Structure 1
Amino acid sequence: MAETAVAPKAVIIAGLNTGDRNFDYSMEELANLVAANHMIVKEEVRQKLDRPHPGTYFGKGKVAELATIVASEDLTTIVTNDELTASQIRNLERETKASVLDRTALILDIFANRAQTREAKLQVQIAQLQYQLPRLHTSVNQRLDQQTGAGGGGGFTNRGAGETQLEMDRRTINNQIKHLKAELAEITKAATTQRTQREKNGLPTVALVGYTNAGKSTTMNGLVRKFGANEDKQVFEKNMLFATLDTSVRQITLPDQKQFLLSDTVGFVSKLPHNLIEAFRSTLAEAANADLLIQVVDFADPNSEAMMTTTNETLAAIGVTDIPMIVAFNKADLTDANYPVREGMQLIYSAKDDASLDELIAIIREQIFQNYQTVTLLIPFDQGNILNFLNEKAHILATDYVAEGTKITVELTDESAKRFEKYRID
């Protein structure tokens, strides 16, 4: 029997502009997030206020307008552009007769649907539970209304039972969070061990960071295709927000045998929930411990400047500072701009273009292979194993056979140069 596709759920999106210069873009982004969660925007409502209404977030007139749209369009869900308090959600739902999903809950839903690995699932579950904690009394109050009757007075005994239930709910969720964090810590410990082992190998590390859907995975796949040890190690890529939540690490080997590790990290978005940033701190550790960052920016998007601001703010929030960064303006093929074009540590390029990838590699090479030196070694004939090692792992510039052995001119890291110091003749 053929499967029938479920039609996207129609919703209202609603935003409050309190003076944010990027408000229009944040609403556009909210619509994209809604689409990523298999919903469709039927109506859009905006209001400009100096500050949110403490009880309903929106002003009285706008709440009435939302209620009218819900009734006339037969809609059941309102998605707001900001995180709301429990009382604001409860009051809005009562006034509009519709379910309210705030931006934080929406992003958490998307992450929950996208999570594939156990680590990602744990991180999302922790963030969801932390989001629920201050909102527990919403469900408790609903349960009390059912116990006492709407507007019923004299429900002191039941209210006391409800408060006891609330304490139990909080204790249960806190215990769940504790358990999940312990499990996540074990996975994080294993990942840290792997990262430490990679660091012992002495390979420099490069991390792709940036806004979701800017082309990080496409860039990684392009570099893996051209320079990876195994072309089959492609990562998932799709033209959608948060296509992947997992960090992937691949080894890149250049034609001159220089090697580095390239990681693709989870994408960012404006107003990314704090709890989610905290939960994904271990995943983002690849960026925090990198020798070089590549911030991939969607050059074709008119809001690219706001995207860069969000990326930089998120990196600062997780403590990623003082790491050299290449700003790579991707998707130039979707614009009229010439590419690849480099200016200092900035590059206009297309991740689907070989010449662009070569230019990106050239900048990476300049940044992470500064500790190389050219030395001349004389390797005795009876130590062919050393010569074989250097042929496989290093860039040999010249080879000459003399009576005492094989004389080679080779590029080595400072550490490797010390290792082979006894063979140096230059």
Structure 2
Amino acid sequence: MYLHGTSKINTKGHLEIGGCDTVELKETYETPLYIMDEALVRQRSREYMEAFRASGLNFQVAYASKAFCVMAMCRLVEEEGLSLDVVSEGELYTALQAGFPANRIHFHGNNKTPEELEMAISANIGCFVVDNFTEMHMLQAIAAEKGLSVNILLRVTPGVEAHTHEYISTGQTDSKFGFDIGNGSAFEAVELASISLNLNLLGLHSHIGSQIFEVEGFQMAVERVAGFSIQVKEKLGVVFKVINLGGGFGIRYTEGDTPLKVSDYVKAITDSVKQSFGGAYAQLPEIWVEPGRSIVGDAGTTLYTVGTSKNIPGVRKYVAVDGGMTDNPRPALYESKYEAMLANRANDANEETVSIAGKCCESGDMLIWDLDLPQVNSGDLLAVSCTGAYNYAMASNYNRIRRPAVVFAKDGQSDLVVKRETLQDIVSGDVIPERIAKQPSYK
């Protein structure tokens, strides 16, 4: 397993993250356990800020909180000077409860409810990314009723297809997101927004997908968005102050993944902006981006305890752990690949090839197929790397399995940032109607 960030093998032969021995973390917090390398999260955040400062352009880097949204994470990215992207009332509430400055919050989503719009307007957030005409009309009406003007970006689909999984590719024409540039709906949206009394149109938003390893897609998106912006300026006299180019910057999950450095992505984008807008815009627009996975993805490790195993001669050996698709649904959803190691026996030589199964009652609950490990024993600790993005965020209580705890590890200190769910938490929302209520037979 490739060791990211501060991860290393200590003198005991144990995996260590943020100066914390994972065997000791298991004793303190139990498993499954999400471990976040705090120093690496901060490093990635700073790489974006430094790369944009070097470009000379005005900018905002907004952490896409859908990747991993807890109050401690909101506080961390605020300390690093980032803005925050949210897509639901729950993410917005988390940010506000954490004390994140509302004027640095951007609200996304293709189906924002009236209640969510009300909540965000009342909180005086910085910007709404408007996804469709229905939302635009609702937002205008609510803002008018309150006698306010709200900042908006219009999300557009530039017709750029990123080389990624179809479920996480969003910039193509056939997408549930945004106004299409090619069919004229984006131009119509600009016309409507520019004359709406309670909407302050700042500019455009474009996002082409996720887990992208090359710059060509971003460069093409800039060219398409710039061409559209120039057309809007010439025909409507509307000049965009902000161009948001989304996120989607890839990370290394396995040996075959080849992401670029943060500075390479940023330089390609900012150079394209200067080239594409420079001749038509007296002042270049402010550039916003929304990295999520690339800030937290490789900073996360999930620690499991090995339980049972099943050997099918001539076929494979299954090794089961105490988690699975409830704490990491990505292999089942996207056929995502991961690397892993025995955290308590990190220096032992590999002796067998096994497949890591989760504990859910589903044949599809498989975390890793064909993984080379030392001879695996019940009670061993399995560490799966690069689980910082879309793992805790997508965790569920399927089979009524409790969601794991989350800790931040840094400089030899571990801090609990999400408590492990209790059995009482599992039933806390349940209600038994009086007509079928009985005294429980088990206590």
- Determine which structure has more spread, i.e. the larger CA radius of gyration: 1
More helix by share: 1
Q: Under TM normalisation by the shorter chain, which class is it?
A: under 0.3
| Higher RCO, Cα 8 Å, sep 6+ | 2
